[in-house]
Amino acid sequence: MDPFKNRQWVVVLIIISVGLIFSFRLFYIQVINKDWSERASQITSKTENIQPPRGFIYDRNNQLLVGAETIYDIYIHPSIIKPKDSSAICKLFNLSNDNFQEIIKNASTGYNVPYKPSVFIESMTQKEHAKISPYLGQINAVFAKSKIDRGYPNSIAAHLLGYIRRIDENQFENTKAQGDFFYTKNDFIGITGLEKQYELLLRGERGNINYLKDYAGNKVETVNKKPPKPGMSLYTTLDTELQKLGEKLMANKIGSIVAIEPSSGEVLAMVSAPSYNPSSLTGRDFSDNFKILKKNDSLKPLINRPVYNDKYRPGSIFKLVQALIALEDGVILPETGFYCNKNIIGCHNHERPNNLTKAIKHSCNPYFFQVYKRLIMKDNSKNVFQTSREGLEIWEKKIKSFGFGNSLGIDLPEEKSGFIPDVDFYDKWYGKKRWAFSTIYSNSIGEGEIGVSPIQMANLASIIANRGYYYTPHVIKKTANENILKKFKIKHSTCVDKKHFEVVVKAMNEVVNQGTGRNAKIDSIEVCGKTGTVENKTFNDHSVFISFAPMDNPQIAIAVYVEYGTWGSKWAAPIASLMMESFIKGSLSEKSIEKANQISQAVILNPNTDFK
């Protein structure tokens, strides 16, 4: 008899107890505790955003202004680099051995792991890529992946279009705080211009994909996919040819051109000089170029002057407004005449302004001094301070009905309001009852404290072209969101009756035909315009010209402002004339082309330019 026979049960018991322990443990980690199951899905499942392609921007003739450009990221995959590859890589990308080692190190540490490829050259242009692409095929460890960036086939209207850049910490937090959870920290966002204004339309809707990944993070199986909704296209009111011409004419100058279609308020061209190539603010060179444009250039090329610079004094073009308000108020008649008395305010020599037309034609300063005096000091029986006060109050309201002193509401984020001095302003400046007409008379000829942006000047031309009303100037023409367009269909009327405009329109026509603006004449088109010379104490005066054409049934209204342009008819008038000719006739005559080239080559810069 085997004395140890019963020991079999000890062994069996041990086996069974191990089985039970394992079963309990498995029951715990598989059924009771869901932690491991959750960890498993963290390991395997990944949700990735799919970036929607940003909407394109077109001009009024469906010509592409902002499209897509294919650029290339170069990836390196450290774990599959063969010894012979490294020298080939160094040669191809012009790297020293140390550089190469550093690249490998970067691609293997931090967020990067050696068994997965990572970017080592970002955003290569198509041209650069074409140079290296034949050799890339020979090196397994290095490859290029294409992606889409903003592309500018026409390289125009940089200011108006604006630029995008990677969202910064502040913006990221702000958008989140406003309940907008669209962005990730890698996303781009419109910073200026249309890109900013219509960000919500352009950016589209994000899609996402949920997939199962393998150990290296590669996508193995798609579980769920929501395709992105591409950003909407913007159709703008811009005319590419006109914009191009404008930018050409304003080369080597500082200033603005704004051209508007009066019947609709559509902006045909908006030039801010100096300008820059919009594609310089894309891709890999963004930060370098941005630094140059922002900090290293005293001419502030990034500023969109037509809407942003509201410190411009309008000069003599303001006489048109004064004339219109005076006619409406009845303080003058078209036949009213004054002497050109140069005692208080200077003037040049011209025939006697014995009616309003002649005064406008010759831009007579003393005449408008008198007009303004009548506007401000209506009741001579009262105290001079009191009547000036009341007069200014009324005058200011009327001026503002022309779109001055407030933002017009153009669909560009940079627009500023301009400034029309009011009672409060002078009270603060001089003290209550310490100022009267004699203190503020320089307003009469558009000098003094008045600040007007070029878009407001163009709008003035548009108002006169329309004989009394305007539509808010705007850049968008067509979009899927109709609500946006609604506010641009509202007619804004001025305080001045239609009948008073005819006198001024005639006078403006005289200006171009026989007066100060003869430089703006166009063959076979009746042009109306008004010059302005804005006093500048440090350097040459500024050259201003507003205009529209043809006189009857106007197609284009334009304002040109050339800083340091000496006087109105010297630079601004011919520039406006060429723009209008090109737009109305569709092309320039031989003579005009030559003129355009000459203007384009002229350099008018103040070396000490700097403004806030």
Partner 1 sequence: MKYRNLSIWRNIDKPLLIMYLLLSVIGYFIMYSSTFKGLDIQSDFWTANYGKQLIWIITTLFLGFFILLLDGSFIKNTAYFTYGFVLLLLILVLLMPPIKGARSWFYFSGFSIQPSEFIKLTLSLSIAKLLSDVGSRFQEFRTKLKAFFMIIIPALLIAVQPDPGTMLVFACFIFVLYREGLSGNFLLIGLFTVLIAVVGIFLKASNSVFHLAGNAISGNIFFGLILILGFIFSFLIIRYFVLPRFRKQKIQRLIIITLLGLSISGGINYVYDSVFSERHRTRFQIMFGVKEDRKGAGYNIYQALSAVGSGEGFGKGYLKGTLSNDKYNHVPEQNTDFIFCVLAEEWGFLGSFLFIALYLSTLIRMILIAERQRSKFTRIYGYCVSAILFFHFMINIAMVIGLAPVIGIPLPFFSKGGSAILSFGLMVFILLRLDSERKVVLR
The CB-of-173 to partner 1 minimum distance in angstroms stands at 30
Token couple for 397: 């309201």
Amino acid at site 367: Y
- Of 429, 423, 406, 442, the C-alpha closest to 313 is 442
Q: Which is nearer to partner 1, 219 or 487 (CB)?
A: 219
Amino acid at site 392: L
The CB-of-112 to partner 1 minimum distance in angstroms stands at 14
Q: Which is nearer to partner 1, 43 or 480 (CB)?
A: 43
Burial class (CB in 10 A: 0-12, 13-18, 19+), 237: buried
The CB-of-31 to partner 1 minimum distance in angstroms stands at 5
Q: Is 419 helix (H, G, I), strand (E, B) or coil?
A: strand
Contact 573, 604 (CB under 8 A): no
Q: Which is nearer to partner 1, 8 or 63 (CB)?
A: 8
The CB-of-95 to partner 1 minimum distance in angstroms stands at 30
Q: How far out from the chain centre does Cα 58 lie?
A: 15
Which residues are bridge partners to 558 per DSSP? 259, 547
Alpha carbon distance 121, 593 (integer Å) = 44
Phi and psi, residue 188, nearest 5°: -100, 150
Q: Which is nearer to partner 1, 18 or 490 (CB)?
A: 18
Neighbouring CB atoms inside 10 A of 597's CB total 12
Q: Which is nearer to partner 1, 37 or 386 (CB)?
A: 37
Neighbouring CB atoms inside 10 A of 175's CB total 17
- Of 161, 153, 371, 178, the C-alpha closest to 270 is 161
The CB-of-79 to partner 1 minimum distance in angstroms stands at 15
DSSP 309: -
The CB-of-80 to partner 1 minimum distance in angstroms stands at 17
Q: Which is nearer to partner 1, 62 or 218 (CB)?
A: 218
Q: Where on the chain is the footprint of partner 1 (CB under 8 A)?
A: 3-5, 7-8, 10-12, 14-16, 18-19, 21-23, 25-27, 29-31, 33-37, 39-41, 43-44, 212-216, 220
Put the strands of the sheet holding 207-213 in their side by side order.
Answer: 45-50, 207-213, 219-226
- Of 404, 285, 308, the C-alpha closest to 612 is 308
Q: Which is nearer to partner 1, 35 or 169 (CB)?
A: 35
The CB-of-27 to partner 1 minimum distance in angstroms stands at 6
Contacts of 71 (CB under 8 A, 6+ apart): 123, 124, 125, 126, 129, 146, 147, 148, 149, 283
Q: Which is nearer to partner 1, 55 or 78 (CB)?
A: 78
The CB-of-34 to partner 1 minimum distance in angstroms stands at 8
The CB-of-216 to partner 1 minimum distance in angstroms stands at 8
Q: Which is nearer to partner 1, 29 or 344 (CB)?
A: 29
The CB-of-211 to partner 1 minimum distance in angstroms stands at 11
Q: Which is nearer to partner 1, 25 or 145 (CB)?
A: 25
- Of 266, 394, 381, the C-alpha closest to 326 is 394
Q: Is 147 helix (H, G, I), strand (E, B) or coil?
A: strand
Alpha carbon distance 243, 250 (integer Å) = 11
User: Parallel, antiparallel, or unpaired for β 64-76 and 118-124?
Assistant: antiparallel
Token couple for 120: 């080592």
